[in-house]
Chains A and B, each alone.
Chain A
Amino acid sequence: MEVSVIVNGTGRSADVEPRTLLVHYLRDDLGLTGTNIGCDTSSCGACTVLVDGRSAKSCTLLAAQVDGAEVTTIEGLATADGLHPMQQAFHECHALQCGYCTPGMVMAAVSLVDEYDDLDAAGVRVGLEGNLCRCTGYQNIVRAVLAASE
């Protein structure tokens, strides 16, 4: 089936099997490999992208479900002027160790600060509960999200 999505502002289309997960559509059909696959249980959040502006786990959606939607991946955050403020905050706060969870963390964090007002450290921790960092580098991740939310 033909699935058309506006990815990072550009209309993209691919002929895929109905069972194709969004994350495989992004990585294998569109070549956007910034979105990682970390688990098989919808637990880790490494594959988090924005669908119509809100975080979603791209391993837990069929590509067919977002036909016609707007999807933003980590590749779509930075502009010609530089990094997205959340990316910049992750950079400045050293909010990563191995970096594997980082694309999903950043996308979830962008959605989180847009969705919830007046986030504090506890709110960021709860809000990022769907994103796991196996380096356990949460301290600086929370610091970065708070910095970017100001």
Chain B
Amino acid sequence: MIPAAVDYVRADSAEAAIAALVEHGDEAKLLAGGQSLVPLMRLRLATPTVLVDVGRATDLVGISVEGDTVSIGALTTHSTLEHSAELAAACPLLAHVASLVGDPAVRHRGTLGGSLAHADPASDLPAAVLALGGTLVVAGPGGTREVAATDFFTGFLESVLAVDEVLTEVRVPVSTGGWSYQKFNRRAQDWAIVGVVVAEGGAGVSLVNMASTPIRATAVEAALAGGASATDAAASAADGTEPPTDNQADGPYREHLARVLTARALTAAGI
């Protein structure tokens, strides 16, 4: 299908994007790589009246490592994350997760910031940033604020981003401790039916598609911190979750998957 009629504004910097968002209010939608938004527009599940295309804002692209922090511009593509030697050294988990998003064509266009701002609980990268204990830098007309990933996601496709704010940067700690991402799906290139991220030797464990937002598996983290074995910790992977039921899987099956995949992820992470 063809998207509904829409006006188009090109904004080649975060500043220009904020100005456009202020001008157009909640009728506007920010367009980054468009790999989630354009399909939704084509199905007319999203019908913004103004698109603010920030996709060529080069000030929002890049990866830098300083001290124990990796800073990634919001418009850095999945493909760039996947192939970055610097990221592979500083935070191999994030590079690996990026390499499993969609397919190569999607990864060439899709962006880290776009994926996070889209806030799909079934997406890979939001859960990865959550497990890593990342921080999101958000810019608006009143200035810049930092939001912990744990506070960023508020509901299905919803985040704390205000209509006139732009996610500009994602920061994660340098993390080379044991890690794994177990993504379970049945069709190539599909979203995870359930996914489990283990970061930094089990200090962070998060779940994909087990609630209306990506969530931390706090029961697993607490069990590991208390000295539980991987097998025992994984048994609590579905605690506190509210998995969706859809045509791929029902809730109880997702709970089962969360436990099995958590055990596999912990083992793969060397725990």
Contact = CB atoms under 8 A, between A and B. Distances in A.
Interface of A: 1, 17-21, 24, 40-43, 45, 48, 51, 54-57, 59-62, 64-65, 67, 108, 111-112, 115, 126-127, 129-131
Interface residues of B, number: 31
A43 B38 CA distance: 13
Contact of B105 (A21, A55, A67): A55
* Chain B interface mostly: mixed
Nearest to A68: B56
Contacts of B2: 19-21, 24
A148 B163 CA distance: 48
Contacts of B104: 55, 108, 111-112, 115, 127, 130
Interface stretch (B4-12, B144-152, B225-233, B241-249): B4-12
Contact of A59 (B42, B53, B83): B42
A62 B37 CA distance: 11
Contacts of A55: 104-105, 108
A42 to B, nearest CB: 5
A57 B102 CA distance: 12
B7 A129 contact: no
A110 to B, nearest CB: 11
Nearest to A116: B104
A17 B5 contact: yes
